[in-house]
Chain A
Amino acid sequence: MTNEILLEMKNISKSFPGVKALDNVSLKVRRGSVHALMGENGAGKSTLMKCLFGIYSKDTGKILLDGKEVSFKNPKEALESGVAMVHQELNQALKRNVMDNIWLGRYPRSFGFVTSEKRMYKDTKKIFDELDIKVDPRTLMSKMSVADRQMVEIAKAVSYHSKIIVLDEPTSSLTEQEVEHLFSIINMLRDRGCGIIYISHKMEEILRISDDITVMRDGAHIVTEPAKNFTMDRIIKLMVGRELGARFPENDAKIGEVVLEVRGLSSRHNAVDDVSFKVRRGEIVGLAGLAGAGRTEVIENIFGISERKAGKIFLHGREVKNRNAREAIKNGFALLTEERRSTGIFGILDLRENTTVSSLRKYRGLLGLISEGKRRKDTSWAMETMRVKAPSQRTKIRALSGGNQQKVILGRWLLTEPEVLMLDEPTRGIDVGAKFEIYKLIVELAKKGKAVIMVSGELPELLGVCNRICVMSGGRLVGEVDAKNTSQEEIMRLAAENA
């Protein structure tokens, strides 16, 4: 006899020294359903999942899989019992090919010791065909897009005959089309009777794909109901625990003269091809496009960290070269990078170091020695202006939430007194509440007269914050729309038609 409930987590509690991370949380996942798990960062979603996979040991509570009590010691054991996780940050052996990654740790063998490439290939191909994944199993992982790598991870879960598959922020770096493909795979798995636990911040997606929604807040279970009972506003209210006003702040910055002009920009090693645009004082210009359209590449090129083949950059009508980041910073440019963890923060250094790293020159005094007093003052100014919540300037930045880390980096750039602020995915991986804060800061910076360029894959936020949106495709600029008089559909059409 089969249970209706595939996975049940009952009254799970978990404490860390000083914090109650999970307080009596329960979760029921039905067979053949997509169950969305929602909550702000720190609400306890990942702790709950870590308890499921045995990465943390739970203090109290029970886990039932198909009616039988289980207690996994590690993710491997969970995987072998049919509980798989597809991580937000993919942990894959990038130097190996697709099938090596799928069969890692359990290579099919002939004669007991020789790994059988042929069988590996055949089995992989079979799963890929089922899931409609069009990837050659012999491709190197490092040569594939994030989306494809994610598909591989899902295929791996399927290859273990997983009954429960946890997807953690699976769409954060996917394009709309890739998201569609992912959803069709999820639907396929649901029809087979799998239970999918879907963790995401993106409301639209959640409302579209999920059958049930559980909202968590501050380590406690708030509600579990069928998805049709929810609206976006209700979810947000439940997650934040209070009424949120508008999702975007009002942008009433005064727009002035042209600050930045880019003419015929082309890059040497990537897609950027003959890109020209202007940004005015107080204006926020969005760069939209599918992944791989060259949005990030454009601003990296302006900032001088990728090689330019042709094109000119004018600041207040004067040409600037920006041959490297140092020169760009000196010329009044700032770049908030896309990958906060790998190219933004200095994790093991404290807030003061992280805030002042780009403007150390300013603090040089006698004999070139650095004045700690001035640095303290500037850091506290930046933390105040950016509304960073942290115990002290000496806190290591990695102890902070994503939103606060992002604010620190914004503060870092503020101290360099830039005229052109380029933001690449400024709200990726940040809580709903904190997102609003970041939007507000961006608008405030525009009001202070900065010219802002914002790259984002989330169209609603571009529409909500920007004055103008430039649409890119295949490295070229294919259209420009007024943010007030356009729609997501129009932008998508521009982006897709020219692809």
Chain B
Amino acid sequence: MTAIRKYREMSRTQRKEWMRELIINNSLYVFLIAAVVVIQFISPNFLSGPSIVNIISLSAANLPIALGIAGAIILTGTDLSAGRIVGLVACVSASLLQASGYPAKMFPNLPTMNFLLVFLIALAIGGIIGLINGFCTAKFNLHPFIVTLSTQLIVYGGLLMYLNIGNNNGQSISGLDPSYTSFITGSFISLGSTPIPNYVWYSLVITAIMWFVWNKTTFGKNMFAVGSNQEAANVSGVNVKRVIVLVFGLAGIMYGITGFIEAARIGSNSAATGLNYELDAIAAAVIGGVSFVGGIGKIRGVILGVVLLRLIFVGLTFLSIDANMQYIIKGLIILVACAIDMRKYLVRK
């Protein structure tokens, strides 16, 4: 109400200015809506049930990794190892959950494992690598860029070695157990006639948990404090090192979840799985207003960023725009989104 009253009291130029600010500050939403309208106009199937489910499920698959990396960015860090961790976890999960009787099984004598047990293994692998990232960052006072640049290589080497054990010979791992694939890609609810894959719900649950972790726990509050001013946090009694280790550990768990979902979603897992995923995840987080300045970021921003990136991918495919253009458009969006975001933090002159 007060907003309306305020608007009434404004002069014409003030209103114009106010509108301009409103549009610029919400330009991502404006862009999102405009893009949807334009694409829908040219390609009417864009907003059909199946297409919407597709955008949602593509976003859902990419959400956990982005949420994980966002934590690292809030600490003014980054994480280059995310994609490779996803790849490693995906390959390990897939290899442990190949259908019994599948001839090209990596471990022929391995009995069918419970996928929930493998899920825990996936979390453990991601979590442990994440903790190592965090430990090296906190203990040796290194920038996460350096630490994760190194672990990324180590993980990739480990992945290549892993693909060569058993009787696999570096082949891609597939032939997954149906209990696993149906747990991830099966569906119990449909939108119209389009089934919504289960991992969308898992992703939603994880996002909700992350929201609580960020906003409602001591750990979350401390994460923002450390990102905002590490020295002050230390003096205020925050265990800075522990916070750093835990943020990266949590991020690792998120990559583990992404890898576990990815393995079943794609169905074929090789050393190339997960390549460059971290770049999309960083881009999504940054578009969503998670700032490299540190201490700034919201869950809903990350969701917006992920959805926006997927929307661009789907939209440009719908419009049959040349793949090369996708790079340019994506680059421009990241640049513009961050520039607009930075405006909020600059002191106006």
A contacting B, Cβ–Cβ less than 8 Å:
yes
- Chain A interfacial positions (CB closer than 8 Å to B): 16-17, 55-56, 303, 305, 324-326, 328-330, 335, 337, 342-349, 353, 356-358, 360-361, 364, 368-370, 372, 412, 416
Nearest A residue to B295, CB-CB: A348
Q: How far is the CB of B73 from chain A (nearest CB, A)?
A: 14
Chain B residues closer than 8 Å to A344, beta-carbon distance:
232, 235
> Are B216 and A343 interface neighbours, CB within 8 A?
no
B237 within 8 A of A: yes
> Are B295 and A329 interface neighbours, CB within 8 A?
no
* Complex CA–CA separation, A372 to B220 (angstroms): 13
Interface centre among B234, B237, B293, B349, by most chain A C-beta atoms within 10 angstroms, is: B237
Chain A residues closer than 8 Å to B222, beta-carbon distance:
357, 360
* Complex CA–CA separation, A74 to B235 (angstroms): 38
> Are A346 and B212 interface neighbours, CB within 8 A?
no
Known interface pairs A347-B228, A348-B228; 5 further A-B residue pairs with C-beta atoms within 8 A, sorted by A's residue number: A325-B234, A326-B238, A347-B229, A349-B228, A370-B216
Task: Tell me the B222-254 residues at the A interface (CB within 8 Å).
Answer: 222, 224-225, 228-229, 231-239
Chain B residues closer than 8 Å to A416, beta-carbon distance:
237
Cβ-closest 4 pairs across A and B: A329-B237, A346-B228, A343-B231, A369-B216
> Are B218 and A346 interface neighbours, CB within 8 A?
no
B188 within 8 A of A: no
Chain B residues closer than 8 Å to A372, beta-carbon distance:
216
Q: How far is the CB of A12 from chain B (nearest CB, A)?
A: 16
> Are B235 and A361 interface neighbours, CB within 8 A?
no
Chain B residues closer than 8 Å to A343, beta-carbon distance:
229, 231-232, 234-235
Chain B residues closer than 8 Å to A370, beta-carbon distance:
216-218, 221
B296 within 8 A of A: yes
Q: How far is the CB of B138 from chain A (nearest CB, A)?
A: 14
Interface centre among B234, B235, B236, B295, by most chain A C-beta atoms within 10 angstroms, is: B236
Q: How far is the CB of A329 from chain B (nearest CB, A)?
A: 4
Nearest A residue to B217, CB-CB: A368
Chain A residues closer than 8 Å to B231, beta-carbon distance:
342-343
Q: List 12 A-B contacts (CB under 8 A).
A: A305-B234, A326-B237, A328-B237, A329-B236, A345-B229, A346-B224, A346-B225, A349-B295, A356-B221, A357-B221, A361-B218, A369-B217
> Are B238 and A357 interface neighbours, CB within 8 A?
yes
Nearest A residue to B291, CB-CB: A348
Chain B residues closer than 8 Å to A56, beta-carbon distance:
349
> Are A55 and B349 interface neighbours, CB within 8 A?
yes
* Complex CA–CA separation, A361 to B217 (angstroms): 9
Interface centre among A342, A343, A372, A416, by most chain B C-beta atoms within 10 angstroms, is: A343
Chain A residues closer than 8 Å to B217, beta-carbon distance:
368-370
Q: How far is the CB of A398 from chain B (nearest CB, A)?
A: 9
Give chain B's interface residue range (CB within 8 Å of chain A).
Answer: 20 to 34
Nearest A residue to B347, CB-CB: A398
Chain B residues closer than 8 Å to A360, beta-carbon distance:
218, 221-222
* Complex CA–CA separation, A305 to B231 (angstroms): 10
> Are A335 and B229 interface neighbours, CB within 8 A?
no
Q: How far is the CB of B96 from chain A (nearest CB, A)?
A: 31
Chain A residues closer than 8 Å to B212, beta-carbon distance:
369
Chain B 180-224 per-residue mask, 1 if CB under 8 angstroms from chain A, else 0? 000000000000000000000000000000001000111001101
> Are B236 and A348 interface neighbours, CB within 8 A?
no
B345 within 8 A of A: yes
* Complex CA–CA separation, A169 to B74 (angstroms): 34
* Complex CA–CA separation, A56 to B348 (angstroms): 10
Q: How far is the CB of A341 from chain B (nearest CB, A)?
A: 9
Q: How far is the CB of A392 from chain B (nearest CB, A)?
A: 14
Nearest B residue to A364, CB-CB: B218
Nearest A residue to B228, CB-CB: A346
* Complex CA–CA separation, A330 to B216 (angstroms): 22
Which of A342, A348, A361 lies in contact with B293, CB distance below 8 A? A348
> Are B218 and A353 interface neighbours, CB within 8 A?
no
Q: Contacts A358-B237, A368-B218, A369-B216; is A348 near B345 (CB within 8 Å)?
A: yes
> Are A345 and B234 interface neighbours, CB within 8 A?
no
Chain B residues closer than 8 Å to A17, beta-carbon distance:
348
Q: Contacts A342-B229, A345-B229; is A412 near B293 (CB within 8 Å)?
A: no
> Are A349 and B224 interface neighbours, CB within 8 A?
yes
> Are B236 and A358 interface neighbours, CB within 8 A?
yes
* Complex CA–CA separation, A305 to B238 (angstroms): 12
> Are A353 and B225 interface neighbours, CB within 8 A?
yes
Chain B residues closer than 8 Å to A326, beta-carbon distance:
237-239
* Complex CA–CA separation, A347 to B347 (angstroms): 13
Q: How far is the CB of A420 from chain B (nearest CB, A)?
A: 14
* Complex CA–CA separation, A303 to B225 (angstroms): 20
Q: Contacts A360-B218, A364-B218; is A412 near B225 (CB within 8 Å)?
A: no
Chain A residues closer than 8 Å to B295, beta-carbon distance:
346, 348-349
Chain B residues closer than 8 Å to A361, beta-carbon distance:
218
Chain A residues closer than 8 Å to B235, beta-carbon distance:
303, 305, 325, 335, 337, 343-344
Nearest B residue to A371, CB-CB: B216
* Complex CA–CA separation, A349 to B291 (angstroms): 13
Chain B residues closer than 8 Å to A369, beta-carbon distance:
212, 216-217
Chain A residues closer than 8 Å to B232, beta-carbon distance:
337, 342-346
Chain A residues closer than 8 Å to B218, beta-carbon distance:
360-361, 364, 368, 370
* Complex CA–CA separation, A342 to B221 (angstroms): 19
* Complex CA–CA separation, A324 to B239 (angstroms): 9
* Complex CA–CA separation, A348 to B232 (angstroms): 13
* Complex CA–CA separation, A329 to B238 (angstroms): 10
Q: How far is the CB of A469 from chain B (nearest CB, A)?
A: 25
* Complex CA–CA separation, A350 to B217 (angstroms): 17
Interface centre among A345, A349, A364, A412, by most chain B C-beta atoms within 10 angstroms, is: A349
Chain B residues closer than 8 Å to A348, beta-carbon distance:
228, 293, 295-296, 345
> Are A353 and B237 interface neighbours, CB within 8 A?
no
Chain A residues closer than 8 Å to B233, beta-carbon distance:
346, 357
* Complex CA–CA separation, A55 to B236 (angstroms): 35
Which of B216, B225, B293 lies in contact with A357, CB distance below 8 A? B225
* Complex CA–CA separation, A164 to B184 (angstroms): 72
Nearest A residue to B236, CB-CB: A358
Nearest B residue to A340, CB-CB: B232
* Complex CA–CA separation, A360 to B83 (angstroms): 34
* Complex CA–CA separation, A358 to B233 (angstroms): 8
* Complex CA–CA separation, A357 to B233 (angstroms): 8
Chain A residues closer than 8 Å to B228, beta-carbon distance:
346-349
Task: Tell me the B133-163 residues at the A interface (CB within 8 Å).
Answer: none
Q: How far is the CB of B318 from chain A (nearest CB, A)?
A: 39
Q: How far is the CB of A374 from chain B (nearest CB, A)?
A: 12
Chain A residues closer than 8 Å to B237, beta-carbon distance:
325-326, 328-330, 358, 416
Nearest B residue to A372, CB-CB: B216
Nearest A residue to B218, CB-CB: A360
Interface centre among B228, B233, B345, by most chain A C-beta atoms within 10 angstroms, is: B228
* Complex CA–CA separation, A348 to B76 (angstroms): 13
Chain B residues closer than 8 Å to A330, beta-carbon distance:
237
Task: Tell me the B301-349 residues at the A interface (CB within 8 Å).
Answer: 345, 348-349
Chain B residues closer than 8 Å to A325, beta-carbon distance:
234-237
Chain B residues closer than 8 Å to A342, beta-carbon distance:
229, 231-232
* Complex CA–CA separation, A360 to B228 (angstroms): 16
Q: How far is the CB of A328 from chain B (nearest CB, A)?
A: 8
Chain B residues closer than 8 Å to A364, beta-carbon distance:
218
